[in-house]
Structure 1
Amino acid sequence: MFLLVFLHILLYNFLAVRSCPSLCTCAYGTTGTADLRLVQCSDPRISTVPINVPADTVKLRLEKTLISRVPRAAFFNLSELLFLWLTYNSITSIHPSSFVNLRALRELRLDGNLLTAFPWEGLRDMPRLQTLGLHNNRLSSLPSHAVLFLSNITYLDLSSNRLTMLSADLLDLWFPLQGQHGKSVQRRILGLHDNPWLCDCQISLVVSLSMSLGSPVSLMDQLLTCSKFLGQSGMAMTKAELPHCMRPSVQPAATRVISLLGSNVILRCDATGYPTPTLTWVKTSNHADCCRQDIIGDKEQLPRTLESSMQGSPRVGVRWSIISLDDLEFKDAGEYRCQARNMAGISEAPVKLKVVGVTRLSRPPKKKSQKIPPKSSSNSKKSKQNRTTSVTPSLKDNQIPQTPPTQKNNTQTFPVIVSKVFSIYKRSKTNLKGPKKITNTTLIKSIVEQSDNSTIPTSNIKV
């Protein structure tokens, strides 16, 4: 039983891989030692994208059918697909995720449909795509964000559409300025003919650059026509006197600014050019011409584009820009560059900012000890006496107080006084005659009388 189920699964997978969709033809082509599956569906009765296309298909052609939309993940199981042709159908819409899992696709053609817009972000699912054909559709614009997904495209056919203008970002991709890119520039083939172009400086620059020697872009047909020029229509661009692009020039309001720490400063620059240039501020260095060049821990990556700027264009060909720096710090000092760019080139002007001031209140300087000149011996003795009189030790229980001496001879310590007491006591005991009894109180009084200069009060002596 299990064997039959296993064989059924194998047979189903074999038929799913090897079978050919209805109303389609399948064939094998040989390239070297590999067999390539080719599937072509050209029956006018087909109205939806087939879902049972063999997984090993390398080239799929859906042509001259009634397919009107391409749904999400329409070719998800075709991971080996290299060529996808959806030409001359009735396609009006394509889901942005229609091309998921087509990472090996090299060529996508959508010529001869009814597309008014193309999901450019869907090109992210085809990183190896090089050829994109959109000839003979109804595209009226080529948005600026398309440049994010066209970097690998070397063949782009936009002919026979309804395009009138090209964005400056696309021109930067196709005609990069010299030195702007480190790697070699890819050569591209563009089809721009048979569109109602507005003959301005941009499209005329495309034609002139494509005709220059060593140009990275080749036009399929250099005969472009103008839809509107001096009240005429259908005039060949080569016969029209088109306006010339002018490289921008930049003039800053001041090239050197000195401002106080903690203050606010505004940097301004003006630019002229045709087409009207766009302005950006870039910080290129830190602490220019400033005494704070030794700030530790400054790891700011430069150059750095500053976003907080305001721009205005009072008339065609003129633009101004300002940037406000609030609560200045020493790290704000440095060189700022105002860059103006249009399709004709880039110009810039430097502005150096210096920040002066102190970071915090300094502490008052410490007073230096004054040198005391040497004094006489009499003065030194007086100073010692003064220091002695200034000391008043605290009294504890059973402690004999000492009065501050006024003379040197009166300064005595307690052990000296005690020795005198015992010597007086001894002499008085030997000199006494008769039976008269001497009490301790009498003895103490006599001792005090003999040592009248003593500092010990008798009231504090316990007997």
Structure 2
Amino acid sequence: MYLLVFLHFLQSLLMAVHSCPASCACTYGSSGIAELRLVQCSDPGISAVPVNVPADTVKLRLEKTLISRMPRAAFYNLSELRYLWLTYNTITSIHPSSFVNLKALRELRLDGNLLTSFPWEGLRDMPRLQTLGLHNNRLSSLPAHAALFLPNITFLDLSSNRLTILPAELLDLWFPLPGQQGVSVQRRILGLHDNPWLCDCQISMLMSLSSSLGSPVVLMDQMLMCSRSLGQAGMLLTKAELPRCMRPSVQPAATRVMSPLGSNVILRCDATGYPTPTLTWIKTSTYTGCCQQGLFENSEELPKILESFMQESPRVGVRWSIISLNGLSYKDAGEYRCQARNMAGISEAPIKLKVMGITRLSRPLKKKVQKTPSKSLSKFKKPKQTLVISKSPPVLENNILTNIPPPFNNKTKRDSNLLSKVVQVYQVDKHVSQRKMNSANTKKKNQTLIKSVSEAPDNPTGALLSAALV
């Protein structure tokens, strides 16, 4: 019984592989090594992508049908598909995930549909895609991010659409500037004819570069038309007087910046050029001064393109950009380059940032600690000064001065010595006061004696005694 179930499953699988959808023609073509399955569906009654296309199909053509939209994962089971033609249908929208699992696809053609936009990010699901045909649609613009998904495309047909300008990012992709590192120059074939291009310097330079010897771009048709503004009649590009592109010029707000450790800094630069240049920040070196030696031994490799910055264009031909560095550390120090580029050239300006910091803090703190006890010690010098001024015997003064200990670094010992000094000064003051009192009493007694003797009549001895005591 299990054998019968297995045979039934195998038979259904073989029928799914080798069956052909209704209203389609399935044939085999030879590639020189093996036969390849080709499926073509051209019935005008087809309004959706067939679901039972054989899994080993290599080339699928859905042409002249009523298919209007491409749903999500429309060709998920066709992992061996290499050529997909969806030409001359009525397709108006394509889901960004319509081409999931088409890892082997090399050619995608969507000519003759009603597309007003194309999901360029969907090209990530087709890493081997080289040919993309969008001829005769209704595309009116190309987004700048389309350049991110077109590096492998060597044939791009955008002819017979409604395109007016090309983003600078696409021109940078097709015509890389000399000396750019990591850029592999591929020869590309472009179809740009039958579009109402604006007569600006971009389309003029495109024509000039494509006509130069050894150009990486070959135009399918050199007869491009352009107009001064939308809605005007076109003229041949070769006969129009077009403005010249201007290489960008960069002016930084400051070439040298010094800021303390932990502060916030904003670096700014302005650029002018035509077409309006784009700005990029690059850190090219680090600061390895005397106080930060060895700080950057394990730092990341430089130069490094920075991603966190802001730029705006207030008007055509002008662009400014700032980069904000918050909480500066020594690793932020170094040289920053503001790079401006357009299809006419590239320019850059350096800005050197130095981070200032305090390297030694111990010396000022020691000075501050030494000054504090001296002030407290001066409070206890007043009794000593009073003692020196008084007419006390010099022996007492010398004893007091010799008993004052020198200042110690230990606060506890210094306080105890100061306390003992105060006690000694108090005892000396008490002793001196007692002597003064005794002296005053003696003088008073002598004055009383002199008075009593002097009062005696005709007493010469009393007069002599009074004169001697005074």
Gaps of 5+ in 1: 368-385, 387-463
Asked if 1:186 is matched to 2:186, the reply is yes
Task: Provide the rounded CA distance (Å) in 2 between the counterparts of 1:303 and 1:231.
Answer: 47
More displaced stretch, 277-286 vs 46-55: 277-286
Residues 296, 331 of structure 2: 8 Å contact kept: no
Q: 1:344-381, CA deviations, whole angstroms, 9 ceiling, x for partnerless residues? A: 221111122233341452245699xxxxxxxxxxxxxx
| Partner deviation per Cα, 1:301-336 (whole Å, 9 max, x = no partner) | 232344554545454323333444455443332212
Distance in 2 (CA, whole Å) between partners of 1:12 and 1:265 is 70
SS in 1 for 2:17: helix
Structure 2 segments unaligned to the other structure (5+ residues) = 370-404, 406-470
Whole-angstrom distance in 1 between the partners of 2:314 and 2:28: 65
- Structure 2 equivalent of residue 4 of structure 1: 4
**Structure 2 vs 1, CA of residues 194 and 325 (structure 1 numbering), >3 Å: closer, same or farther?**
same
In structure 2, what is the Cα distance between the partners aligned to 1:76 and 1:320?
46
Within 2, Cα distance between the matches of 1:182 and 1:326?
31
Find the counterpart in structure 1 of residue 168 from structure 2: 168
Structure 2: distance between partners of 1:348 and 1:61: 50
Q: Which moved more, 1:32-41 or 1:271-280?
A: 271-280
The match for 1:24 is 24
Residue 293 of structure 2 is matched in structure 1 by 294
Q: Helix, strand or coil for the counterpart of 2:291?
A: coil
How far off is 1:65 after superposition?
Answer: 1.2
Structure 2 match to 1:52: 52
State the shift of 1:252 in Å.
2.4
Q: Distance in 2 between matches of 1:184 and 1:313?
A: 30
Q: Is this contact kept in 2: 1:292–1:330, CA < 8 A?
A: no
Aligned partner of 2:86 in structure 1 is 86
Structure 1 length normalisation: TM-score? Answer: 0.74
Distance 1:253 1:296 in 2: 28
TM-score by length of 2: 0.72
Q: Give the partner amino acid of 2:299.
A: E
Q: Against the structure 1 CA distance between its residues 255 and 39, is the aligned structure 2 distance closer, same or farther, given a 3 Å change threshold?
A: same
Is the 2:176–2:183 Cα contact (8 Å) retained in structure 1? no
Q: CA distance change for structure 1 residues 111 and 356 in 2, over 3 Å: closer, same or farther?
A: same
Counterpart in the other structure of 2:250: 250
The aligned counterpart of 2:136 is 136
What do the CA deviations read for 1:124-175 (whole angstroms, capped 9, x no partner)? Answer: 1111111111100111111111112111111110111111111111111111
Q: Write the letter of the residue equivalent to 2:124.
A: R
Q: Give percent identity, aligned residues only.
A: 78
Change (3 A) 1:216 1:2: same
Runs of 4+ in structure 1 off by over 6 angstroms are none
Tell me the SS of whatever aligns to 1:178.
coil
Specify the alignment match of 1:102 in structure 2.
Answer: 102
Give the secondary structure class of the aligned counterpart of 2:351.
strand
Partner of 1:15: 15
In 2 relative to 1, CA 296–109 (structure 1 residues): closer, same or farther, beyond 3 Å? Answer: same
Instruction: For residue 262 of structure 1, report the CA deviation from its aligned partner.
Output: 4.7
Partners of 1:154 and 1:187 within 8 A in 2: yes
Corresponding residue number in structure 2 for 1:405: none
Equivalent positions of 1:109-148 (< 5 A) are 109-148=109-148
Structure 1 counterpart of 2:138, which letter? Answer: R
Could you tell which deviates more after superposition, 161-170 or 320-329? 320-329
3-state SS of 2:9 partner: helix
Instruction: Say if 1:365 and 1:246 are closer, same or farther in 2 by CA, change over 3 A.
Output: same
- Farther off after superposition, 186-195 or 348-357: 348-357
Q: Structure 1 stretch 298-307 or stretch 246-255: which is displaced more? A: 298-307
Matched, 1:64 2:64: yes
Structure 2 counterparts to residues 392-411 of structure 1, below 5 A:
none
CA RMSD of aligned residues (A): 2.6
Distance in structure 1 (CA, Å) of the matches to 2:183 and 2:328: 39
Deviation at 1:23, TM superposition (A): 1.0
Residue 104 of structure 2 aligns to a residue whose secondary structure is coil
Residue 276 of structure 2 is matched in structure 1 by: 276
By how many angstroms is 1:62 displaced?
A: 0.9
Cα-to-partner distance string for 1:372-404 (whole Å, 9 max, x where unaligned): xxxxxxxxxxxxxx9xxxxxxxxxxxxxxxxxx
Q: Deviations over 1:164-196 (max 9, x none)?
A: 111111111111111214353111111111111
Length, aligned pairs only: 368
Counterpart amino acid of residue 166 in structure 1: L
CA contact (8 A) 2:197 2:227 kept: yes
Residue type of the partner of 1:320?
Answer: W
Q: In the alignment, what sits opposite 1:321?
A: 321
Tell me what 1:228 maps to.
228
Q: Look up the equivalent residue of 2:41 and give its one-letter code.
A: C
